[in-house]
Amino acid sequence: MYGNTAHNIYAQNNIDVESPTKLVEMLYEGVLRFNAQAKKAMKDGDVEKRVYWMNRSIAIITELISVLDMKQGDVSQYLEGLYNYEIQLLLEAGNEKNSAKIDECSHVFKTLLEAWRETTNVA
């Protein structure tokens, strides 16, 4: 449904992206940023903005799923399941107006971002 939307957004806005490694980092950061905006909109009672920001997060997560290299085995399968669960959480958060579920998703992506940075910035 979302295709390469997230990738295209970042590619248009960040022509200087040097590597796929940096792009994944930016996508994780995007999920965190958009989740924060969705949570704020939820707190403010702004349904339109809440849906907009949550859809942006979901689009990024969908993009992350689409670029997984399933030939890598267990790690890719684990991430696919985790990403799908995070999409489910965001959908439930929107339907239930439950900001704790947005927080849970954000916590997972903060952890993923930290781990990604640790493993990709090794000299």
Q: Residues 57-109: pLDDT tens digits?
A: 999 999 999 999 999 889 999 999 999 999 999 999 999 999 999 999 999 99
Domains and CATH numbers, the chain: 5-120 (1.20.120.340)
Checking if the pLDDT of 1 tops 50, the result is: no
pLDDT band at 10 (very low <50, low <70, confident <90, very high): low
4 in helix, strand or coil?
A: coil
Question: What are the C-alpha distances in Å from 31 to residues 13, 14, 36, 99, 112?
Answer: 16, 16, 9, 15, 11
- Please report how the helices 47-66 and 74-96 are oriented relative to each other, as an axis angle in degrees rounded to 10: 170
> Contact 61/31 with Cβ under 8 angstroms?
yes
pTM exceeding 0.75: yes
| pLDDT at 4 exceeding the cut of 80 | no
Cα–Cα dist 70/1, whole Å? 20
